[in-house]
Chains A and B, each alone.
Chain A
Amino acid sequence: MTRTGLPVRRPRPPIALSIGGLAACALVCLPIVYIAVRATDRGWAPVRATLWRPRTLDLVENTVGLALAVSLAAVVLGVGAAWLVACTDLPGRRVLRVALAMPLAMPSYVAGWAWIGWRPELAGFRGAALVLVSISYPYVYLPVLGALRRADPGLAEVARVAGRRPLTVFFTVTVRQVRPAIVAGVLLVGLYTMSEFGAVATMRYETLTRVIYQSYQASFDRTPAAVLGCLLVAVTAVPLVLAVRWGAAGRVDRAGPGAARRRPVVQLGAWRWPAFLAGWGLIVAVFAVPAGNLVRWVRRGSSSTTWGEVTGAFGTTLWISAVAAAATVAIATPVAVLAARHPGRLSTWSVWTAYAGHALPGVVVALSLVFFGVRYAGPLYQRTPMLVAAYVVMFLSLAIGAIQAAVAHSSPALEQVAASLGDRPVSVWRRVTVPLALPGFGSAATLVFIAVAKELPATLLLRPIGIDTLATRLWSHTDAQQFAAAAPFAAALVLVAALPTAVLTRAQLEDPT
């Protein structure tokens, strides 16, 4: 019955954990609920007026069309790249494995800014799609890479023995094994594209996020912004609901512990070097072009930049990101522990709410907190705590995922042994659980740090007066078409994000699980 040592059978979670989980839920729900309240507080007439405009339909079309195009391209790039580095004898695949994840570190508006500075004719749908594909395909690439490395290689071997050619095997067996990972990745790309602000703004392509921001900035009547915010939430809910249904139906990649076996390597033969060029070509296209332009602009613009501004914004970015990372980890911890140790209704709901928060567009979160702050929390409005709260709402799920995995990894049997040695629960937590889960807390904080450093729309709307991060500085310069002046900020920003991204990706890919 219990061959695995001392299993845990906790009847109910400690009260402090439950309160922590509920508090996190409430914080995430606040912007969702309040934006709806604000949109309708002048009755339904302005709501109807905003929704019935023909322009609104165009905006929805643009938003959804862009999301579809980007998702499709990201699947092709992400799955192809993952297969190349996971299953073939591609030369230099170890380095390529990490390099292919690096676009995650490239903020969308930096990429957009670099491309449009170099090729102004890209403005519009083409440019927006290009930029978004180039920075979002890692959302498919990373989970698929993980799934490919976990998947049972036996199935592919059997198919080969049965006389199928490698390419047929790839499409009939391998792709099916990793389907849940693909679905999860596409969901992220789709949500990201719909709620994305920086790339569409720099490429001057009219989607909901961009118009919401403009409408908030341009007019005193802010009801249309709130109404469009609700519309955007409704649009992003569609893929979320679809993915939940597919996700529940498609759990096929857990094919037992087949990990001990060495994965057979597909021999690319004559295709080795073309594939090599394709892999590195992708990186050149998505990372080196923006980076190269960036360097060019930095050289040209160094005369017109005051380096004091750059270091000031650099410091602010580090400080705000660090505070937000600490706050998010603190708030995520009870939810993650609930999910790892006390699975039940409360933990399920907390985790789902947090994911819903991640799906919320930054523009909407910020707008909702602005409205809320103006009306109910005057002293906090345009103060650091409110900005940090917005970051927590948006990035809570990142931290929960990392901490939950780490806590689940440390065995409850160890906690029971510690208790039997006379240690109180709080002390057990401090001396056993936390030290063992420390790497998870580290990656949680790093993930949030990167995301916050790159975040633009919420920072623009909620930052305290007189405070500028690298992102907002960059934005104010690109808005005025001062590409050269923006370059040092962009370079500093890529630096801030790239280093932790590389470290994290390497750590995750080296992980034998």
Chain B
Amino acid sequence: MSTVRVTGARKTYPSRPPVVALDGVDLTIAAGTLAVVLGESGSGKTTLLRALAGFERLDDGTIELGERTVSSRTLTVAPERRRVGIVPQDGSLFPHLTVAANVAYGLGRGRRRGTDRRVVELLGMVGLDGYADRYPHQLSGGQQQRVAVARALAPEPDVVLLDEPFAALDATLRGRLRGDVAAALRAAGATALLVTHDPAEAMSMADQLAVMRAGQVVQTGTTRDVYLHPVDVAAARALGEVVTLPATAAAGVAHTAIGAVAAEVTLAGAAQVLVRPEQLTLANGDAGHPATVVSVEFQGHDVLVDVMVGGVLVRGRWPASAEPRPGATVAVSLSGDPLLVVPEYIDSQGIADVGIDLSRSP
């Protein structure tokens, strides 16, 4: 178990045009914690993981594992000398070896038998007792990932790296495996780094969350911090759905169609208030601003309701037991602090971005 410290890491792939994968990444992972790097495809998160594993050289910056510097501009310690375990996206189990032999691969010469205590213990930890003599092709995708986790943990590495380990699995399995893997990592006491593009996965697993974009870590913190206090609009969107309310700001207050929120004193004129959908409370009666129901989407446990209020379309949740009809008048109110209050911005399509962010809807 050791602290991972990445300082000013830079990496450019010499393709045409050159691709800047890491553009000065700073990241510290406390010993024994599970950090999740959240980012979209091409944000550099996989390159960061590969640099930590020793598969990529850094152009600049350093990587320290505990007291050891393993990567710098002049030095790249070979993967086999790093004491780093890796769980690839597809598991990458050795197809010619049994489950037990896969798990035992990184153990010392004398301990590679499937009956070794460590192998039995690890298979138990990932819930695969009795599978020791199977071959990878006889396992389901989820079981293969469990073996991959056990294999990575076997040599007691200082750091375990997980590269979107659940991406190829179906939703139900993913949820269960997340919990089991997080538990196994904590039980082993390993420092772990998991990269993913799935915000739900990030929030369910992370002790510490780092949001990556365009080769940089733009925000780190607990999931609660990042979810409730994102540094910018993109970070807000990275973790979940966002409702954007047009507002007018003056003297430290931003006025929206459904109420006023605090804003920076310097902010004046057209502005936008970003909130999470669950901060919009819809109710019958008149305890709030009157809004017209536009459409209702049944989702089982509750319904998603789009309402028009003050010329803005906003989305909120409603208990399924008493769903409103389109055309009905309901009351909408805002609760809690907004994520962000920012000057009005134009999105990449050149359209003022207001109301529901449909690109992020589940």
Whether A and B are associated in the same complex: the answer reads yes
List chain A positions with a Cβ less than 8 A from chain B.
1-6, 9, 11, 411, 413-414, 416-425, 431-432, 435-436
Docked-complex contact B55 and A416, CB < 8 angstroms = yes
Q: In the complex, what residues of A have CB within 8 A of residue B53's CB? A: 416, 420
State whether the Cβ of B54 lies closer than 8 Å to any Cβ in chain A: yes
A419 touches B94 (CB 8 A): no
B42 close to A419 (CB less than 8 A)? no
Interface: B180 (CB within 8 A): no
Which residues of the partner chain B approach A420 to less than 8 Å between Cβ atoms?
Answer: 53-54, 79-80, 82, 84-86, 152, 161
B95 at the A interface (CB under 8 A): yes
Q: What is B's interface to A at a CB cutoff of 8 Å?
A: 41-42, 46, 50, 53-57, 78-86, 88-90, 92, 94-96, 105-106, 151-152, 154-155, 161, 163
Contacts of B96 in A (CB 8 A): 435-436
Give chain B nearest CB distance to A413 CB in angstroms: 5
Is B42 touching A421 in the complex (CB atoms < 8 A)? no
Q: A413–B154 Cα gap in the complex (Å)? A: 19
Shortest beta-carbon distance from A75 to chain B in Å: 40
The interface residues of chain A lying within 8 Å CB-to-CB of B78 are: 419
Q: Is the CB of B92 within 8 A of A422?
A: no
Additional pairs, 8, CB under 8 Å, beyond known A417-B151, A421-B152, A421-B154: A1-B42, A6-B92, A9-B56, A419-B78, A420-B54, A420-B161, A424-B80, A425-B80
Contact A432 B94, beta carbon cutoff 8 Å? yes
The interface residues of chain A lying within 8 Å CB-to-CB of B95 are 436
Select one of A2, A413, A419, A431 contacting B79, CB under 8 A. Answer: A419
How many Å lie between the Cα of A60 and that of B85 in the bound state?
65
The minimal Cβ–Cβ distance linking A416 to chain B, given in whole angstroms, is 6
- Which A residues are in CB contact (< 8 Å) with B85? 420-421
Closest A residue, CB atoms, query B79 = A419
Evaluate whether A419 and B89 lie within 8 angstroms (CB atoms) in the complex, with A1-B41, A6-B55, A414-B94 already known.
no
Evaluate contact between A423 and B94: CB separation under 8 angstroms. Answer: no
User: Could you name 13 residue pairs across A and B whose Cβ atoms are closer than 8 Å?
Assistant: A2-B46, A3-B41, A6-B86, A6-B88, A9-B55, A9-B56, A414-B92, A417-B86, A419-B79, A420-B79, A421-B105, A422-B83, A435-B96
Distance in Å from the Cβ of B164 to the closest Cβ of chain A?
A: 9
Q: How far is the CA of A1 from the CA of B41 in the complex (A)?
A: 6
A422 and B155 CA atoms in complex are apart in Å by: 8
A219 to chain B, nearest CB (A): 57
Contacts of A423 in B (CB 8 A): 80, 105-106
Chain B min CB distance to A6 (Å): 5
Name the residue among A419, A422, A435 with the largest chain B CB count within 10 angstroms: A422
A-B contacts at CB below 8 angstroms, number: 76
Residue of B nearest to A419 (CB): B79
Contact partners of B84 in chain A: CB under 8 A? 420
B151 x A6 contact (CB < 8 A): no
Q: Which residues from A are CB-within-8-Å of B154?
A: 421
Pairwise interchain contact B89-A416, C-beta atoms closer than 8 A: no
Q: How far is the CA of A420 from the CA of B95 in the complex (A)?
A: 17
Q: Give the chain B neighbours of A1 by CB distance below 8 A.
A: 41-42, 46
Query: Residues of B contacting A11 with CB < 8 Å?
Result: 57
For residue A408, give the distance in angstroms from its CB to the closest CB of chain B: 15
State the CA gap A419–B55 with chains docked (Å): 9
A417 to B96, CA, bound (A): 14
Judging by beta carbons under 8 Å apart, are A418 and B105 in contact? Answer: yes
- What residues of chain B lie closer than 8 Å to A416, measured between beta carbons? 53, 55, 79, 86
Q: With a CB–CB cut-off of 8 A, which chain B residues contact A432?
A: 94
The CA-CA distance from A246 to B139 in the complex, in Å, is 46
In the bound complex, residues from chain B placing their C-beta under 8 Å from that of A431 are: 105
The docked-state distance in angstroms from the alpha carbon of A413 to that of B92 is 7
Cα–Cα distance between A385 and B92 once the two chains are bound (Å):
42
Contact flag A6-B50 (CB < 8 Å), given A417-B88, A420-B85? yes
Q: Is the CB of B106 within 8 A of A5?
A: no
User: Given the complex, which residues of A lie within 8 Å of B92, measured CB to CB?
Assistant: 5-6, 411, 413-414, 417
Q: How far is the CA of A417 from the CA of B163 in the complex (A)?
A: 12
**Complex: how many Å from CA A444 to CA B60?**
44
In the complex, residue of chain A having the shortest beta-carbon distance to the beta carbon of B105:
A421
Which residue on B lies nearest to A438, using beta carbons?
B96
Write out the residue numbers on chain A whose beta carbons fall within 8 Å of the beta carbon of B79.
416, 419-420
Cα distance, A411 to B50, chains bound together (Å): 16
- Who on chain B is nearest to A425 by CB? B80
**Smallest Cβ-Cβ distance to B41: which chain A residue:** A1
Q: Min CB distance, B234 to chain A, in Å?
A: 19
Q: How far, in angstroms, from A424 to B106 measured CA to CA in the complex?
A: 11
Judge whether B89 and A421 touch: CB under 8 Å: no
Contacts of B82 in A (CB 8 A): 420
Residue on A with the closest CB to B43?
Answer: A1
**Complex-state Cα separation, A21 to B346, whole angstroms:** 58
Closest residue of chain A to B112 (Cβ to Cβ) is: A431
Tell me the bound Cα distance from A9 to B54 in angstroms: 11
Q: Which of A418, A419, A421 has the most CB of B within 10 A?
A: A421
In the docked arrangement, what's the CA distance between A416 and B46, Å? 14
- Tell me the nearest residue of chain B to A9, going by C-beta: B56
Most buried by B among A3, A6, A413: A6
Q: How far is the CA of A5 from the CA of B56 in the complex (A)?
A: 14
Partner of B88, one of A5, A419, A424, A425: A5
CB distance from A272 to the nearest CB of B (A): 39
**How far is it, in angstroms, between the C-alpha of A1 and the C-alpha of B48 when the chains are bound?**
13
Known contacts: A5-B90, A416-B53. The answer to whether A422 contacts B42 by CB under 8 A is: no
In the complex, the answer to whether B88 meets A421 with C-beta atoms within 8 Å is no
Q: How far is the CB of A269 from chain B (nearest CB, A)?
A: 42
Contacts of B41 in A (CB 8 A): 1, 3
Closest to B84 in A: A420
Identify the closest chain A residue to B96 (Cβ).
Answer: A435
Chain B residues, CB < 8 A from A417: 86, 88, 92, 94, 151
Closest to A432 in B: B94
CB distance from B10 to the nearest CB of A (A): 16
Shortest CB distance A167–B (Å): 43
A499 CB to closest chain B CB (Å) equals: 27
Q: Which residues of B contact A418 (CB under 8 A)?
A: 94, 105
CA distance A388 to B55 in the complex (A): 40
What separation, in Å, do the CA atoms of A435 and B50 have in the docked complex? Answer: 26
Q: Are B155 and A421 in contact (CB under 8 A)?
A: yes
Q: Which chain A residue lies CB-closest to B108? A: A422
State the CA gap A419–B85 with chains docked (Å).
9
Across the interface, name the chain B residue whose C-beta is closest to A410: B95
| CB-defined contacts of A4 to chain B, threshold 8 Å | 90
Determine the distance from Cα of A2 to Cα of B83 in the docked complex, in whole angstroms. Answer: 24
Interface contact A422-B106, CB-CB below 8 Å? yes
Chain B residue at minimal CB-CB distance from A8:
B55
Complex alpha-carbon distance, A269 and B193, angstroms: 64
Complex Cα spacing A5 to B154, Å: 21
* Measured CA separation A87–B152 after assembly (Å): 48
Partner of B151, one of A3, A411, A421: A421
Taken together as a complex, chains A and B put the C-alpha atoms of A419 and B81 apart, in Å, by 8
Residues in A with CB closer than 8 Å to B89 are 3, 5
Report yes or no: A419 in contact with B163, Cβ–Cβ below 8 A: no
B80 contact set on A, CB distance < 8 A: 419-425
Residues of chain A contacted by B155 (CB below 8 angstroms):
421-422
CB-nearest residue of chain B relative to A424? B80
Closest 3 CB pairs of A and B: A421-B106, A419-B79, A420-B86
B281 → A minimal CB distance (Å): 40
Interchain CA distance A380-B237 in the complex, whole Å: 75
Most buried by A among B50, B56, B57, B94: B94
